[in-house]
Structure formats: structure tokens, C-alpha cells
Structure 1
Amino acid sequence: MPDPSQGTPKGPEPQLSIPKDVTDTPSTSSTAFEPVDPKTWPLYRKYLNLFLVSFMSLMGYFSSAVYMPATTEIREYFNTSITVVNTTIAFFVLLLGISPLFFAPLSEQIGRRWIYVGGIFLFTVFTILCGISTNLGAFIFFRLCQGIFASIGQGLGGGSIADMFEGRQRSRAVSFYMFGTIFGPAIAPTVGGFITRYLGFRWLFYIKAIIGGLLTLASFFFLDETLHQPHTKTPFLQRLKSVRVNPISTFGLLLKPPIGLVCLAVSTAFGWFYLMVTNLPLTFSDRYGFSVDKIGLLYLPGGIGNCSGAIVAGLIAHRCYLWLTRRNLGKPLAEFYLAPIVIALPLLLAGLLIYGWAIDYQANLFVALLGYLFFTHATMLSITLSNTYLVEAYLERSASVVSVNNCLRNIFATVFSVLAAIVRNGLGDGWTYTTAAITVFVFYLPLLLVWFYGPAWRAKG
């Protein structure tokens, strides 16, 4: 196996023939347009579909984060504890991760369009029911059902990208998709804080229901089927009868070393991110005396960090891939997409340490927010690169591998958000985030094994 770090021999650089899938040339330039093959569609049609899918993905994490600033109001209305309210957030995030283990393999058998349309419709229905609930039990039940169908965009998005895009287009599409995914939680707490203060927490659900209804209509009329099966003539209903979905098998993809190690690394960072944002309202109200609407504004640096991380990943991932391919004598390896993580790791560690100790010593607010910005930027840079790598390395099962990555991240997010208050009360802010930095470093180191041995592992199946 060629060493991914191998350099070009001295002397004149040989003329290399770079494979088609690593060039900057769009696939449509060399392939005749074929209506049933999404890879030959014009770019505007691809990006219309990608926009709708990304918007659905946005609604998932937006729905989980938008009522974080409203936890106190929801607790008071239902006369319950803050632990119960935080648990509804945690289990919502858990269902965001688990549900795609069913939806992704299903979409690889019967197609993606109707799963998208049906999923966003049911998301809208359960969002309305959350908004009108007056009973705590009913509210929790409808909230969990909302979480199941909020996962549609995240569960199927990687598959749709693999269906439509090739080469450089694909890495940019993943970045665009991840930007949509994280733009939701980036703006959700700020939006949620103002809506809760001026309209009441129920309008969090009414506004989401309006957006969901519009998205349902847009998907019904404009979203295309992207799963191209040229040798399959079986009618849809017959395919539906023969469906076999095994979520345990899908989750078992984590046993493949390249998938498991990559997912474990980014899930660790994502878990600490959820602990950070779950504790954020109490942290800044205790330490700095902020009100609910102002606390919502404090999430903005994290949103900027998340968005910039996805954008930077889109700008540099394919360039690094092409450069390393040339240095590897023209042989492309999917592992080259992981190279920019060497930038992410120092930022992850610095961000955690700056944030934790700035709060612990009640330093200037902007110092803590700078650490928050660094950490979120590096977290989203890592997640975007990991999804790009998984799509490229496992094209045939792209929806499933991206779903299992989402699943493990959300499991970590669930556990860390449930334990957020306990960990902070036990360790204090400084040592909480020092512990976070140590664990992130430990779980990112095995990515070196993926870098050197990933191609051989994948060759073994």
C-alpha cells in the first residue's frame, strides 16, 4: 500500500493521469444527460434537491436546540423539574441518531423521495401536537415522535449526495449539506430566546410547524427521486413488500475499524459540545447574570464557529485530496480527506481549555466566547471531514455510514447532556473542560491508524 505521506521523487515531476473522480471537472461535462440518472442532471437541479434535503436536516438540530433557552419556562408551565426538561432534550437527540438506522437502509431499497416527503409531513404533525399539549406526558410523547421524523434529512442526506455528485462536486456538496445541518443549531438558541420572551414557548412549536408545512409542500412538488437503479424494473409496491431493514446490522458498521475510529473521535468532541451548550444558560446566568434573551445571543459565537467550520472544510478538503493524490504518484485514497484534521485538533484543545478556565476565573466574557468559537469551529470541521471521508470510502452504503456516524454522535450527545449538570457540579468549569480536552486528544490519536492502515482495512471488506 502506498504511504499516504510519500513524496514525489526529486527531478522533473512526472505527468500524472489523475482519475476522473478526483478532478475538478463536473461529471455532467463528460456524460450525456439522462433523466433517470441524477449524476447527469444539471447543477441547478442537483442543488435544488440538495437545498431541500439540507433544510430538512437543518430542522432536526434546530428543533433540539431552539427550546434550550426556554427550559425554565417549560419547567414552570408543566410544574416539573429542570432534569425532566433536559431529559426530553437528551432523548430527542438520541432519537435523531437512532431513527436513521431504520430510514437509511430502507431508502437504499425503496428509494428516498417518499421517505423524505412522509417524514417531514409527520414531523409537522407532531410539532403541532407539541405546541397544543397541556399535559406533560402528552408533551413528552409528541416531542419524542417529533424527534423520530426530524431525523429524515440527517439520515438520508449522505445517500442523496452520493446519488447526485462526483469528485469535487461531492466534497462541496457535503460541506453545503453540513452547513445546513449546523446552521439550525447555530441560530436556534438565539431565535428561541427572543420567541420565548416575547411570544411564549408554545410559539417555538407553531413557527416550526409553519416551516415544516412549507417544506412538506416544497418537497412534494420539487424533490426528485435520486436513487438510480438502472437494472431494477421492480414496481415500487413490490419492492416495499420485499424490504428487509436490520438496524443492528447498520449499527454493526462501527465494527469496521475505519468507520468505528472516525465516528468515535468526532462523537467524543460532539458529546462535549452538547455538554457545553446544555450547561451554557446556567453557566452564564450564574457567573455573569444574563437574562434568557441575552443568553440566547451567547450561542452566536458557537453558531459562527459551526458555520465557519463547515465552510472551511468545503474549501480545503478536496484541495488537500488532490495535492496528496499527486504526491502519492497519482493514486487517490479516501483517507486524504482526513488530512485537515491536523488543523482541527489543536483548535479543539485550545478552545476547551480557554473556555473552561476563563469561566472558572470569571475572566472577560469575550475570552470565554473566543474559546467557545475555537471549539465549535474545530468540531464542525472534523464532523464535515469525517462525513466526506465516509461517503467517499463507502459509496455503495453512503446513507448507512453517514447515519451510523450521526447515530453515535447523538448517543454521545444524549449521555453528555444528561450528565452535564452533574459533571459541572462535581468538577467545576475549569476541570470539566480540561477533562474534555484530555479525552478529545486520546480519541483523536487513533485517526493516525486510519490514515496509515485505512486503505488496507477497506480492501479486506
Structure 2
Amino acid sequence: MATPGAFNDPSYHIDDLKEPKLELAYEEGHDADIPSNLGLYKPSNADLEKGTGSHPSTASGEDTVVAEVDTEAQHPTDEQDPNVVWWDGPDDPQNPMNWSMARKWGNIAALSGITFITPLASSMFAPGIPLVMSSFHETSNTLATFVVSVYLLGFAFGPLVIAPLSELYGRLRLYNICNVLFIVFTIACAESSNFNMLVGFRLLQGVVGSSPLTLGGGTIADLMPPEKRGGALAIWAMGPLVGPVAGPVVGGYLVQAKGWRWVFYLIAILSGFFSLITFIFMRETYAPVILGRKAARLRKETGNQDLRSKLDSGIPPKEFWRRSIIRPTKMLLFSPIVFFMSLFTSISYGILYLLFTTITFVFEEHYHFSSGTVGLTYIGTGVGMIIALGFLGTLSDRVIKKQQAKGAPLKPEHRLPMFLTVPGGVCMPIGLFMYGWSADKHAHWIVPIIGTAFVGVGLLTCMMTIQTYLVDAFTLHAASAMAANTVLRSIFGGLLPLAGLSMYDKLGLGWGNSLLGFIGIAIIPVPIIFKIYGERIRTSPRFQLKL
């Protein structure tokens, strides 16, 4: 059953597979010691004894190999084992890498559609908050912001369930189930008869809506070789960036014309359209699941119960759950790098969603914007993010190329250049001061919007540099490090906005946003400290974790 593959070539050294397998595992959305399209990449015994979760060979420039490719899944001995099930040759049409480009891009187009809709739903509802409060006769400022931000709490905990389930049952099944549930919960939001019902269904909407963000990168990694993956990932990643900004722009006019319930009806209609496309055109892409089903079919046809997939690690379901839930929590609590970097991004993310949930009230009350035009005020943040993305795409690569030209070993700390992290950290408090005091003094409406653009620049700059730093610092367990970051970030994004309107009532827009600006100033040193002392902390035995 086994057929020679690229990584079965005896001339391949283990180091030839090391980095591609780590990269693939992370892009698939899991740690490297969980099966990928190329098999396993597990810590060596020496690594486990040292208790490190990082990859010193890339983290500190040392030439130490701390992980090894699973020999059972990778070495040519499987070729002589008739019980190992593999692809039927290098051109096997069942292998997603061999699909036609039309079929691949069809899957990616459907995926990009649903990846745009779920982030869109996070903020599209924001301009309708005053009407919701009026409809349900609620006056609490806390509840006014919570009904928007509770969606992010679903984004915090949904991936912890969806990711391990996809490893067991495949990506397509999770997409379809979550798409259907998303439509159901969205319609339930539109039909809510009381405020508590709306909040509850918003939370469930966020849980299942996290599916395309959790699994999308993995689907693209299943389909595209590395040299063609960048463009597909860029298209897919536009959804999470554009959706939260475009949502209020459309939602503002829709609320004005049809009322707040039609925001949910429109989301349900769009989600239904893309869900139908997903159901018709998308196919399973996760190789371990495809080969597992093939092995099961062959066992039934041949009666040979010893047949097994070459990518079957034998990891029991309980172990998948443990790694998906316990490991990120452990890293968040006991790794100073993960904790403080996650805290930095979480505070920034919470401030962003505090603005998202209160900006409607600010511009309607202070500038007398209508429900339609108030949605346009979110464009400033989006423009700032796009500007930051352009700078990051060019300047961050220069740092890496400069180090390579010197022949110096690359370190994760190179992902935290001072000329990006310092201006990025400063931009957010500058934007908050500008936004708060200009609105407080009733300056022209363009001034506070420019302030939100500065916030967008600062947020995206810091988040992107920190995320790439975490990936490089915890290469083997990069997905768990990012999961820890996502959970804490989404919790802050869901809870910090609850204080927004009450804070503005007590302190005013000027001092309220100044308080947020001072918090922003207080966290500026975090990436600077890890730029200087990060390597010492990573390599210190005191902070090594047994993962």
C-alpha cells in the first residue's frame, strides 16, 4: 500500500524536513507533534528532559536539534510494510495537493467568503445598539456594550473545541456544521424577544463563527505548496481585517433603513449563500483524515484489520483535547513571554473594541450623526490598519534580509525591531488622546476619526510583530502559544468594552480616553524589554516548561 513520497527519499536528512514540517504544522493550526500532511514532528527525549517548548536551533542560533521527525511515519521502512496505507503514487488525484487549480481556488473562494462573514458579524451590529436598548427598554451602559462584545467571548473559546474536533473528523465536516449553526443562531438573534436571549445567541454565534478563522489557514496549507501559499493566505486574511471595519459602514445604513433586526437577517442571508457554496464545492482537504477513511474502507473491503494510515499517530482523542486546552493554558500562566506579550496585545485589542462599541454613541450624541452615517466613522481605524500593514510588509522583511546578509543567526528577537515596535506603541496613545480631546471639545468630526486611524496603526503594528515573535520563539508549539494569545485577547475584547460608556459618563471623553492613553503608554516597554532580554528569558532553565 505504501508508495514512495518526497520525504521517503533516503538522501533526505532529518534537518531537511525539520523547518517545513514546523511551518506546515503551524499553518494547519496545530502544534508540530500532532499529525500534518507530512506526518509528525515530535520532541526528542532530550528535549522533553530539558522541558523546553521552543526551538533553540532557530531561537538562539545554536546548532542543537531538539525535535525529530517521527521515524515510524517518515522513514522508508514503511515502504516494505504492506499494512501502511498511503497515496497511490505521487499523482494520486485524492491528494489535495494534486487537485486542479480551478478546484483548489474554488475551495479557497468558498472559504474566503465564510471567513469574511463571521468577522463582519462581530461589529456590523454596533450602529444598532441605541435602537436595541430602546426596543428592550434597557438603559444600562454595560449591557449596551456587552451585546456587541460578547461575540468575541465566543471567538475566545470556540477554537479550543473546533480545532481538536477537526483533527479527529476533518475540516469539511466542521465547516458545514458550524455554518449551519451560525445561520441558526444569527436568525435567533434577529428573532430575539428579550435582551438576555439576544446576548445568549450572540455568544453562541461567536463560538461557531470562529470556525473559518480557526481552520482556514490549515485548509490553504493542505491545498497549496509553500511557494504558492502567500497569495491565497493574503486573500483569506483580508476577511478578518476588512470585516470588522466594513461591518458598521453597511450596518449603519441598514439600521437606519430597516431596523437592527435586519442586520442579522442580512448576515444570515449572506452566510446561507456562502454556506451553500461551501456544501456544494468544498471537499475534505486534511490528509490524515482522507487517508484514515481510505484505510477504513480498505479494512472493510479486504478484511485486513492491520491496515493503517501512514499519517495515523495513534494519539487518542483525550490526548488531542488535553493538548488543545491544557497546553495553551499552561503556557499562558507559566511562560513570562507568552503571558506578557499576550497581555500587551489583549489590552490593545480590548481598547480597540471599546472604541468599536462606544463610537456610535459618541458621534450620535456629540456630532449628531444619523444611524446611517455613524457607520462611516469606523473607516478611520481600517485605514490605519491598512497603512500599518503596508509598512510591516516591507520594513519587517528588511530586518531579516539584513541579518541574513551579515551571516548572523536569526533570532525571534529580530521580529521586534525598535523602529517598528516603538512608533507602533506610541501611535495608539497618541490616537486615543487625539480622539478623546477633539471629541470632548467638539472639534471637526474628521479630527477624532484621524485619531482612530492612529489607534489602528498602533494596534496592527504591535499585534503583527508580537505574533510573529511568538511563532518564532515557540516554533514546535507555536499554535499553542498563539491559542493562548487568542484566548486572552478575545476575553479582553469581550470584557474591557463593558467599562467604556460608564467611564465616559464619569470622566468625560477627554479624560476617559486619556486614561486609556496612559495605559497604552504603560505597556509600551513590554516589547522593548523582550527585544533586549527575550533571549536570556527563553534560554533560562527557570522559565522552561514541560509541554
TM-score by length of 2: 0.69
**Which residue identity does 1:280 align to in structure 2?**
I
Find the counterpart in structure 2 of residue 338 from structure 1. 416
Further displaced range: 260-269 or 337-346: 337-346
**Which residue identity does 1:338 align to in structure 2?**
L
Find the counterpart in structure 2 of residue 409 from structure 1. 489
Find the counterpart in structure 1 of residue 114 from structure 2. 56
Equivalent position to 2:321, from 245, 248, 253? 245
Larger radius of gyration: 2
Find the counterpart in structure 2 of residue 383 from structure 1. 463
**Alignment gaps of 5+ in structure 1:** 1-18, 22-30
Find the counterpart in structure 1 of residue 10 from structure 2. none
Find the counterpart in structure 2 of residue 194 from structure 1. 253
Note the C-alpha offset of 1:37: 7.0
Note if 1:300 corresponds to 2:379.
Answer: yes
Rate the CA distance shift 1:250–1:35 in 2: closer, same or farther, 3 A: farther
Once the two structures are superposed, residues 427-454 of structure 1 have per-residue CA deviations (whole angstroms, 9 ceiling, x without a partner) of: 2222222222222232231213433444
Further displaced range: 382-391 or 156-165: 156-165
Equivalent position to 1:446, from 515, 520, 526? 526
Rate the CA distance shift 1:137–1:414 in 2: closer, same or farther, 3 A: closer
Note the C-alpha offset of 1:78: 2.4
Note the C-alpha offset of 1:68: 0.9
Find the counterpart in structure 1 of residue 270 from structure 2. 211
Equivalent position to 2:435, from 355, 358, 361? 355
Equivalent position to 1:141, from 175, 188, 200? 200
Partners of 1:452 and 1:141 in 2: how far apart? 45
Find the counterpart in structure 2 of residue 286 from structure 1. 365
Rate the CA distance shift 1:436–1:79 in 2: closer, same or farther, 3 A: closer
State the secondary structure of the residue aligned to 2:372: helix
**Alignment gaps of 5+ in structure 2:** 1-17, 21-37, 39-89, 298-311
Note the C-alpha offset of 1:409: 1.5
Rate the CA distance shift 1:365–1:230 in 2: closer, same or farther, 3 A: closer
Once the two structures are superposed, residues 330-384 of structure 1 have per-residue CA deviations (whole angstroms, 9 ceiling, x without a partner) of: 5233443333334422322321222122122222222211111111122123323
Q: Contact (CA 8 Å) 1:179, 1:307: kept in 2 or not? A: no
Partners of 1:323 and 1:44 in 2: how far apart? 38
TM-score by length of 1: 0.81
Q: Contact (CA 8 Å) 1:155, 1:402: kept in 2 or not? A: no
Rate the CA distance shift 1:351–1:432 in 2: closer, same or farther, 3 A: same
Find the counterpart in structure 2 of residue 435 from structure 1. 515
Q: Contact (CA 8 Å) 1:38, 1:163: kept in 2 or not? A: yes
Find the counterpart in structure 1 of residue 335 from structure 2. 256
Partners of 1:171 and 1:313 in 2: how far apart? 15
Note the C-alpha offset of 1:256: 2.6
Provide the alpha-carbon RMSD of the alignment: 3.6
State the secondary structure of the residue aligned to 2:523: helix
Q: Contact (CA 8 Å) 2:421, 2:527: kept in 1 or not? A: no
Note the C-alpha offset of 1:169: 6.6
Identity, % of aligned pairs? 27
Equivalent position to 1:68, from 99, 102, 126? 126
Once the two structures are superposed, residues 13-72 of structure 1 have per-residue CA deviations (whole angstroms, 9 ceiling, x without a partner) of: xxxxxx997xxxxxxxxx987767777888877666555444434333321211111112
Alignment coverage as a number of residue pairs: 433
Find the counterpart in structure 2 of residue 150 from structure 1. 209
Partners of 2:232 and 2:414 in 1: how far apart? 17
**Which residue identity does 1:245 align to in structure 2?**
W
Find the counterpart in structure 2 of residue 9 from structure 1. none
Q: Contact (CA 8 Å) 1:127, 1:143: kept in 2 or not? A: yes
Find the counterpart in structure 1 of residue 356 from structure 2. 277
Find the counterpart in structure 1 of residue 452 from structure 2. 372
Further displaced range: 379-388 or 262-271: 379-388
Once the two structures are superposed, residues 283-315 of structure 1 have per-residue CA deviations (whole angstroms, 9 ceiling, x without a partner) of: 122222222112111112122223443444344
Rate the CA distance shift 1:433–1:79 in 2: closer, same or farther, 3 A: closer
Rate the CA distance shift 1:231–1:122 in 2: closer, same or farther, 3 A: closer
Further displaced range: 225-234 or 404-413: 225-234
